[in-house]
């Protein structure tokens, strides 16, 4: 169930609270399997939507404008930035990437979860602005040899681009301990299972249940009444 009427627990607990949306951030070096994991999650779980980033990077043949990214010129990107329409932005591999602010704020306010496929720089900016809403996951490749193999297998990028991505991987992996969870993607199904478990428990956290104080207050009133009558 999506939207503001979502409750947890079922079985007639009509007063159980709605939930605040999660900013579910997945980062990893290119080739560690983050995009495949994101895709699996979006297919499996209708309650989470992708935050479609804007980028000045050229579109890859397999990508669709407006689905994988909104592809922009540098001028278009700067115009959004100057208007304050970007929640975070970063330069990665010589191109600009950013998260548009509007769709994220709307989703969170409506209690929907948002998936972010962004880099370390972007994650740290989201922490500064809305740490309590962020759940961050860093995906590691099982080995560097495997990372290289996956980048070459993708075959959509030239060798020079692949080398640049490997160099960036060094800086990114060094930030592993800035993340709430770290998963090693040796087997995609197993890693996906772990990802789903994290999302499931994070959805139940106390601070994501804004109506909980009200529920507790009702329980306490009823309890006080029962205790008073029993005197």
Minimum CB separation of residue 208 from ligand 5GP in Å reads 23
Rounded to a whole number of angstroms, the CA Rg of the chain reads 21
> Encoding tokens for residue 171?
């800086």
Residue (97 or 192) nearer to ligand 5GP, CB: 97
97 binds ligand 5GP (CB under 6 A): yes
Among 90, 114, 191, 195, contact with ligand 5GP (rule: CB under 6 A): 90
Contacting range for ligand 5GP; rule: CB under 6 A; set: 118-126, 128-136, 148-156, 215-223: 118-126
Contacting range for ligand 5GP; rule: CB under 6 A; set: 1-9, 93-101, 188-196, 201-209: 93-101
Site for ligand 5GP in 21-60 (CB under 6 A): 27, 30, 53, 57
CB 121 within 8 A of CB 168: no
Residue (153 or 229) nearer to ligand 5GP, CB: 153
CB 126 within 8 A of CB 180: no
Q: How many residues bind ligand 5GP (CB under 6 A)?
A: 15
Among 111, 122, 140, 191, contact with ligand 5GP (rule: CB under 6 A): 122
Minimum CB separation of residue 104 from ligand 5GP in Å reads 11
Residue (92 or 137) nearer to ligand 5GP, CB: 92
Residue (98 or 195) nearer to ligand 5GP, CB: 98
Residue 170 CA to chain centroid, in angstroms?
Answer: 22
Instruction: Identify the sign of the CA torsion 72, 74, 76, 78.
Output: positive
What are the helix (H) ranges across 11-140? 34-44, 74-82, 101-109, 120-130
Among 99, 136, 185, 209, contact with ligand 5GP (rule: CB under 6 A): 99
Q: Select the residue whose beta carbon is closest to ligand 5GP and give its number.
A: 122
Contact residues toward ligand 5GP (CB under 6 A) are 27, 30, 53, 57, 88, 90, 92, 97-99, 117-119, 121-122
């Amino acid at each position: 169930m999506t939207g503001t009427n979502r409750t947890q627990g079922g079985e007639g607990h009509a007063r159980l609270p709605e939930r605040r949306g999660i900013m579910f951030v997945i980062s990893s070096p290119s080739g560690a399997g983050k995009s495949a994991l994101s895709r699996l999650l979006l297919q499996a779980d209708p309650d989470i939507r992708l935050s479609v980033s804007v980028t000045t990077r050229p579109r890859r043949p397999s990508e669709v404008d407006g689905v994988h990214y909104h592809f922009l010129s540098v001028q278009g990107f700067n115009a959004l930035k100057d208007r304050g329409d970007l929640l975070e932005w970063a330069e990665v591999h010589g191109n600009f990437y950013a998260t548009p602010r509007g769709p994220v704020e709307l989703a969170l306010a409506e209690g929907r979860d948002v998936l972010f496929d962004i880099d370390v720089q972007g994650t740290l900016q989201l922490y500064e602005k809305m740490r309590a809403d962020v759940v961050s996951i860093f995906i590691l490749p099982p080995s560097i040899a495997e990372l290289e193999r996956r980048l070459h297998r993708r075959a959509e990028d030239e060798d020079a681009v692949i080398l640049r991505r490997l160099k960036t991987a060094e800086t990114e992996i060094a930030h592993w301990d800035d993340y709430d969870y770290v998963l090693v993607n040796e087997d995609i199904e197993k890693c996906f299972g772990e990802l789903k478990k994290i999302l499931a428990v994070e959805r139940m956290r106390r601070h994501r249940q804004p109506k909980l104080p009200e529920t507790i207050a009702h329980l306490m009133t009823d309890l006080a009444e029962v205790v008073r009558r029993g005197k």
